[in-house]
């Protein structure tokens, strides 16, 4: 009996051990490693090796690593002789450049060839889906019956379908017999399309520009980019401008060296609508050649020498209206033409020359050059920094410095026209100044400046061809500065201990699948508290301006001419005693200099915030560790004319100046007011902006009654509204309204649809001004690298 009992016990123990071993073998994942020239690792739930066929088979959650690539699938079979591998079931092939998805992958570990069924190529910038994808080399991928799109999650939004798609990795995607599909519907056919997927510029066709204008019809432009070399390129854009006819654009760019470049742009058009003085959009029956061209050159030769040149030219002055989509960004002010400057500077002075030859656009004949318009040919300016000539600690002799600025300007008409007004002159303008810092008397700081205001004119068209005016301007200032700082700017980490209630609440929660909270040993958490400081500064100033009697010599007709601002070349020509009553913008805000006291009160509130300290940025913490922002400001300035003989203070008051602003996290307000006591005239400009989570509103109001006896009162109000009710739609509306004439100067309405796929957008807009009403549609395509290109003619 004893041997039998021992035998039974041994059998039971054997069965238990076998069961434990077998159970553990089911739970373990098989790992296999072999080499076919390179190391290959295979991880799977099960693995079998067929020695007779020299094959290896892995089943269940297969992961294969080879060089820098990884392959995932449900089942894999590898032949050790040929290096062929077949992976099936939710196949994923991951390489550094891209990721491939499919149902079945044939891969050769020796030649690294890929054959993938029902494939999908996923890159950072694009997605390609197709029936078959082949890769016979490391640089090229071929796809059959495939579609290309930049929509990672929605290839049906827009795509380009082709029977054969060639991918040159890191360079191009080339599609033969391409069909552009929008929401699965074929919209356009191209025999051949190339999409660049690399950083280096290459010649080729760019995405076409399409658009529609309700008055001029459909537009189509096809850009052709020419990469001449690494430093030069050109873009040729044959175009059809709807009812206006055919034309095109050309852009040439060249980079000579760092910060030295040239750009030339031109638009050419045989216009079938345009005729001088014609305002409607009906075809005129003739073809009129029109163009708008511009040139811009910029150069910084060294730290001390730089120059800039800009010039624009058009066939007629109506191009600014008819071709505004092209010319609007290239026109500054009311002039065509241009010029430039050349500047050199050293540590103690600067010397510059500038010249401009412009065509006045505010004339009745759109093809006429305004010969009366005054050109600047050229202007040479020189200026120096204040040069210290005396410095001490004695009272009223703290510092004395001497500065200088001046210029020589030639004013010249294109053709001399004798209409009674002198419009040709050569002027020397000199303004040396002596700055005297007297120092402090208690909390009050005193300073003084004496400046010579000297102008000499040579009038080549006049018999009496000389005129000179000069005088001394004295400016004395006394100021007190007060400031107070509230708080200290720093960031601190504060430990927050959890209460027993919060601990018990955590223990009692019954959320399924929640992860345990990781705590320190003392069961505490840390939060960062940001402390800001605020600096409020006040500045009280009393300034006295005094102008000794200006002296005049020479041509009396020219003196009478410059007493009226319409007869001046610029504000420098003004008679200083009358400068503050001129209607020129540069003189409207000025004080009379003859004998005037000015009182100023300036306030400023600045917030100082500490930056997050980064110990890995060398040398930054001690010099760049704070941010500053202007929270609010308030400035008041009032002048009193001491030359006015009156017992009433209001008669002596000059303009009142108020300037204030407030900036909070979402709200921004500003207002600037000039009030002229003697005439009760105003010049007010105010703005307000508020940004909500899904909409923003900004408004402006301008009121200008200055010089109302000669110019009409201006009352302008406007707003800009942006509403985003959902992530898909954005509504925009802006309006500029003339309250005086009760006319809408300009209005703009826009509806933008942006699908969540982030691969295309559509915008419908309506624009109305005093001349035209336009309806347009803009389509933006994200064809590569999140660069949205508009399918429109701007």
Residues of the chain with pLDDT under 70: 1-38, 124-125, 151-157, 183, 198-199, 211-212, 496-525, 577-589, 613-624, 708-710, 757-759, 781-794
Six token digits for residue 131: 């029936």
Q: Identify the pLDDT of residue 209.
A: 74
Q: Identify the pLDDT of residue 295.
A: 95
Q: Identify the pLDDT of residue 624.
A: 67
Q: How far apart are CA 596 and CA 542, in angstroms?
A: 10
Q: Identify the pLDDT of residue 266.
A: 96
Q: Identify the pLDDT of residue 738.
A: 93
Instruction: Write down the residue that tokens 């002075």 correspond to.
Output: 349
- The length of the chain in residues reads 794
Q: How far apart are CA 82 and CA 134, in angstroms?
A: 18
Name, in order, each residue with C-beta under 8 angstroms of 603's C-beta and a sequence gap of 6 or more: 536, 537, 538, 539, 632, 633, 634, 635
Q: Identify the pLDDT of residue 147.
A: 84
Q: Identify the pLDDT of residue 459.
A: 95
Q: Identify the pLDDT of residue 264.
A: 96
Q: For residue 45, count CB atoms less than 10 angstroms from its CB and return exposed for 0-12, middle for 13-18, buried for 19 or more.
A: middle
Six token digits for residue 565: 């601002």
User: Going by DSSP bridges, is the β-strand pair 444-458/425-430 parallel, antiparallel, or unpaired?
Assistant: antiparallel
* Residues 690, 694, 696: CA angle, nearest 5 degrees: 25
Q: Which of 8, 13, 58 is CA-nearest to residue 31?
A: 58
Q: For residue 794, count CB atoms less than 10 angstroms from its CB and return exposed for 0-12, middle for 13-18, buried for 19 or more.
A: middle
Q: How far apart are CA 141 and CA 154, in angstroms?
A: 22
Name, in order, each residue with C-beta under 8 angstroms of 416's C-beta and a sequence gap of 6 or more: 424, 461
Q: Identify the pLDDT of residue 56.
A: 84
User: Going by DSSP bridges, is the β-strand pair 30-35/425-430 parallel, antiparallel, or unpaired?
Assistant: unpaired
Q: How far apart are CA 390 and CA 359, in angstroms?
A: 50
Which contiguous run of DSSP H or E holds residue 561?
A: helix 556-562
Q: Identify the pLDDT of residue 500.
A: 54
């Amino acid at each position: 009996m004893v041997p039998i009992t021992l035998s039974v016990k041994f059998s039971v123990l054997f069965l238990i051990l076998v069961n434990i071993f077998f159970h553990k073998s089911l739970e373990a994942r098989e790992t296999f490693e072999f080499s076919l020239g390179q190391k290959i690792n295979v991880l799977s739930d099960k693995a079998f090796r067929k020695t007779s066929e020299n094959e290896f088979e892995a089943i269940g959650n297969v992961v294969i690593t080879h060089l820098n690539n990884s392959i995932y699938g449900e089942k894999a079979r590898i032949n050790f002789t040929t290096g062929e591998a077949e992976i099936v079931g939710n196949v994923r092939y991951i390489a550094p450049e891209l990721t491939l998805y499919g149902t079945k992958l044939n891969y050769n570990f020796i030649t690294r060839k890929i054959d993938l069924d029902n494939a999908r190529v996923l890159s950072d910038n694009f997605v390609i889906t197709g029936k078959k994808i082949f890769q016979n080399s490391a640089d090229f991928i071929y796809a059959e019956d495939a579609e290309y799109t930049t929509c990672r999650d929605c290839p049906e939004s827009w795509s380009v379908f082709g029977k054969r798609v060639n991918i040159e990795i890191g360079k191009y995607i080339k599609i033969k017999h391409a069909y552009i599909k929008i929401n699965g519907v074929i919209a356009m056919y191209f025999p051949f399309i190339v999409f660049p997927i690399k950083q280096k510029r290459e010649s080729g066709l760019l995405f076409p520009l399409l658009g529609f204008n309700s008055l001029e019809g459909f537009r189509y432009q096809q850009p052709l980019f020419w990469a001449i070399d690494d430093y030069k390129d050109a873009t040729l854009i044959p175009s059809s401008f709807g009812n206006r006819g055919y034309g095109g654009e050309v852009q040439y760019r060249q980079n000579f060296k760092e910060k030295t470049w040239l750009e030339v742009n031109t638009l050419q058009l045989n216009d079938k609508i345009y005729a001088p003085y014609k305002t409607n959009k009906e075809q005129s029956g003739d073809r009129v050649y029109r163009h708008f061209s511009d040139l811009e050159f910029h150069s910084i030769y060294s730290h001390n020498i730089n120059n800039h040149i800009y010039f624009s030219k058009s066939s007629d002055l109506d191009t600014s209206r008819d071709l505004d989509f092209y010319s609007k960004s290239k026109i500054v002010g009311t002039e065509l033409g241009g010029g430039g400057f050349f500047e050199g500077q050293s540590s103690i002075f600067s010397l510059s020359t500038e010249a401009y030859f412009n065509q006045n656009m505010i004339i009745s004949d759109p093809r006429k050059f305004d010969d009366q318009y005054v050109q600047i040919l050229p202007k040479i300016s020189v200026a120096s920094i204040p040069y210290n000539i005396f410095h001490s600690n004695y009272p009223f002799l703290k510092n004395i410095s001497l500065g200088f600025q001046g210029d020589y300007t030639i004013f010249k008409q294109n053709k001399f026209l004798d209409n009674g007004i002198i419009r040709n002159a050569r002027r020397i303008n000199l303004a040396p100044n002596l700055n005297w810092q007297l120092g402090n008397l208690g909390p009050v700081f005193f300073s003084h400046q004496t400046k010579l205001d000297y102008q000499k004119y040579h009038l080549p068209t006049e018999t009496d061809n000389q005129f000179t005016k000069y005088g001394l301007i004295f400016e004395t200032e006394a100021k007190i500065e007060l400031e107070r700082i509230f708080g200290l700017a720093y960031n601190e980490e504060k430990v927050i201990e959890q209460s027993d209630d919060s601990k018990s609440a955590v223990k009692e929660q019954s959320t399924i699948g929640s992860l345990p909270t990781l705590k320190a040993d003392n069961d505490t958490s840390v939060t960062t508290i940001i402390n800001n400081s605020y600096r409020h500064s006040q500045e009280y100033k009393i300034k006295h301006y005094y102008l000794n009697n200006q002296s005049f010599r020479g041509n009396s007709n020219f003196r009478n001419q410059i007493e009226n601002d319409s007869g001046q070349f610029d504000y420098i020509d003004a008679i200083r005693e009358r400068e503050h009553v001129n209607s020129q913008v540069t003189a409207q805000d000025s004080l009379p200099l003859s004998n005037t006291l000015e009182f100023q009160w300036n306030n400023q509130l600045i917030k100082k915030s500490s930056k997050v300290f980064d110990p890995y940025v060398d040398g930054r913490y001690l010099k760049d560790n704070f941010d500053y922002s202007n929270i609010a400001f308030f400035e008041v300035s009032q002048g009193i004319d001491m030359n006015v003989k009156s017992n009433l203070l209001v008669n002596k008051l000059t303009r009142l100046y108020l300037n204030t602003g407030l900036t909070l996290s979402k709200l921004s307000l500003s207002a600037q007011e000039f009030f002229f006591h003697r005439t009760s005239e105003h010049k007010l400009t105010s703005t307000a902006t508020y940004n909500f989570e899904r909409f923003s509103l900004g408004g402006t109001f301008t009121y200008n009654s200055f010089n109302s006896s000669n110019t009409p009162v201006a009352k302008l109000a406007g707003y800009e509204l942006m509403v985003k009710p959902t992530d898909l739609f954005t509504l925009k509306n802006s309006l500029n309204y003339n309250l005086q004439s009760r006319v809408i100067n300009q209005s703009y309405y826009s509806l933008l649809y942006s699908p969540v796929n982030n691969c295309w957008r559509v915008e419908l807009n309506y624009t109305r001004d005093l001349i035209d009403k336009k309806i347009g549609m803009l389509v933006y395509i994200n064809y590569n690298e999140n660069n949205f290109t508009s399918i429109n003619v701007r």
